[in-house]
Amino acid sequence: MDVFNSQTQGLPCACAHRRRQIVTYVTSRRGKKLLSINGFTFCVQSTSGHKTRWICSTHNHKQCRAVVHTVEGQILKLNNNHNHQSSSNYYSVIMYQQ
């Protein structure tokens, strides 16, 4: 997956755990908004009002079960257990300031 730009702002995390996460939005080559957490990318599976459910970008290809739930941009639930390595080796992210 090629990613060509990113927002540098992080998302606040209301998760029970307090591990530091590197979270950014990135845009895929096809223009889709992705969520990137520690080198793993997530795509929108569904939205309902202000709630968004993000699934690992490799869900269909590798049946990865990692998932993120956000409400108005705040991470509420994070299952960051992947059955594969980070995709950071397979795409490059160019950071830009708004």
Please tell me the predicted confidence (pLDDT) of residue 52: 94
Please tell me the predicted confidence (pLDDT) of residue 21: 65
Please tell me the predicted confidence (pLDDT) of residue 87: 63
Please tell me the predicted confidence (pLDDT) of residue 48: 94
Q: Show the domain range for 54.
A: 3-96
> To 10 degrees, the CA torsion angle through 30, 34, 36, 40?
-70
Whole-structure pTM over 0.75, yes or no?
A: no
Q: What is the CATH number of the domain that holds 87?
A: 2.20.25.240
User: In terms of Cα–Cα distance, which of 1, 22, 6 is closest to 75?
Assistant: 22
Distance CA 63, CA 35 (A): 18
Please tell me the predicted confidence (pLDDT) of residue 50: 92
Q: Phi and psi of 88, rounded to 5°? A: -60, -20
Q: Domain tally for the chain?
A: 1
Mean pLDDT per segment of 10 residues, for the chain of length 98 residues?
40 50 80 86 92 85 85 86 68 45
Please tell me the predicted confidence (pLDDT) of residue 14: 47
